């Protein structure tokens, strides 16, 4: 029972669900669409619990830091949990403060924090992006072309300048990404077949 519950039952559920949803799309089965709709709604419910799991994990991780008084971490844990509960309670009972926190912290402060991605990207462009081979030179040329095509001032400097980057993105760049997309879709098929045959179990959260 133990081995069945831990290993075989999840695999049976995976295979039955995958085959049902996939083949119901191609083979008309009486009542099939209604069952698939119901399964879709169930996935929505379970996904809600998965998202809640993420929030609970934050509480567990930082709660543990606070209880164990981990050096340099427990004060930050208090700030995180306090602000988390403030937002939660504001959502339940104090809507104007919820909106205030959403606009200023969730949107505004989050945007300010994400600014450093741009800063470090520019730093990486100067310090890391060094041409050491022909391929790197090609990559650099494509990057500079795209940068110039996204800047309206480049058209004012020389009319056809933005067109180079646009051509690179529309023709060879698009061709490359079409190859990636098709390869990824074929890879997805291979992974799904492997999972259905029980050869892939990473989605179950690790083996024991």
Partner 1 sequence: MAYEIFTALIMGALGVMAWSIMYKINVGYRIAEDLTVGVMGGYVLYSITDNTMSNFITPLIKGDLMNIVPVFLGVLLWGQLLKPSSRWIARPSLAFITGIGAAIALKGAVYGNILVPIQAMSTPPGTDPWTVINHVIAAIATITSMTYFFFTVQHKGALKPVASIGRIIMMVGFGSIAGSSVLSNTTFLYNRAQWFIKTPYAWIPLTLAGMAIIVDIVRTKSSKQP
Partner 2 sequence: MSTLEKIDKLDRRYIFLGLLVLSFLPVLMPMGLPVPIGPATTGSYEALDALNPGDIICMTFDYAGGSAAELYPQNVVILKHALKKDLRVVVVAFSVGGPEMGEMALEESGYKTAKAKGVDYVNLGFISGFETAMSSYAKDVHAIVSTDFFGTPLSQIPLMNEVRDIESFKYLAFTTSTSQDHYIRQFTGKSTKIVGCIQSLYFSVMQVYMGTGQLVGFLNGLRGSAEYEILTNELGVGAITMDQASITHLYGVGLLIIGNIAFFLKGRKSGGS
* 113, 134, 199, 202: which one binds partner 2 (CB under 8 A): 113
Residue 195 interacting with partner 2 (CB under 8 A):
no
- The alpha helices in the chain, defined as continuous H runs, are 2-3, 9-26, 32-67, 74-93, 95-101, 110-127, 134-150, 153-157, 161-170, 172-196
Tell whether residue 114 is a contact of partner 2 (CB under 8 A).
Answer: yes
CB 32 within 8 A of CB 24: yes
Q: How far apart are CA 133 and CA 147, in angstroms?
A: 21
Calpha distance 13→7 (Å, rounded): 10
Dihedral over alpha carbons 125, 127, 132, 138 (to 10 degrees): 10
What string marks each residue from 120 to 139 as x (binds partner 2 by CB under 8 A) or -?
--xx-xxx-xxx--------
Contacts with partner 2 by CB under 8 A: the residue count is 52
CB of 9 to partner 2, least distance (A): 21
Each residue 144-163 as x (binds partner 2 by CB under 8 A) or -, in order, gives x-xxx-xxxxxxx-----x-
End-to-end Cα spacing for the chain: 16
Tell which positions 15-54 bind partner 2, by CB under 8 A: 33, 36-37, 40-41, 43-45, 47-48, 51
Residue 86 interface partner, choices partner 1, partner 2, none, CB cut-off 5-8 Å depending on type: partner 1
Q: Which is nearer to partner 2, 12 or 147 (CB)?
A: 147
């Amino acid at each position: 029972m133990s081995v069945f519950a831990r290993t075989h039952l999840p695999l049976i559920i995976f295979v039955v669900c995958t085959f049902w949803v996939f083949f119901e799309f191609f083979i008309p089965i009486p009542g099939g669409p209604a069952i698939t709709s119901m399964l879709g709604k169930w996935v929505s419910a379970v996904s809600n619990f998965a998202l809640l799991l993420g929030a609970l994990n934050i509480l567990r991780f930082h709660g543990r830091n606070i209880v164990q008084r981990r050096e340099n971490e427990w004060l930050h844990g208090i700030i995180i949990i306090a602000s988390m509960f403030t937002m939660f309670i504001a959502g339940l009972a104090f809507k104007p403060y919820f909106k205030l926190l959403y606009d200023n912290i969730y949107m505004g402060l989050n945007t300010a924090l994400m600014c450093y991605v741009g800063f470090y990207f520019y730093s990486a462009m100067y310090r890391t992006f060094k041409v050491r081979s022909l391929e790197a030179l090609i990559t650099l040329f494509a990057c500079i072309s795209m940068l110039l095509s996204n800047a309206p001032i480049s058209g004012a400097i020389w009319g056809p300048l933005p067109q180079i980057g646009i051509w690179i993105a529309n023709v060879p760049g698009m061709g490359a990404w079409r190859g990636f997309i098709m390869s990824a879709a074929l890879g997805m098929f291979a992974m799904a077949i492997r999972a259905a045959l029980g050869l892939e179990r990473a989605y179950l959260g690790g083996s024991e």
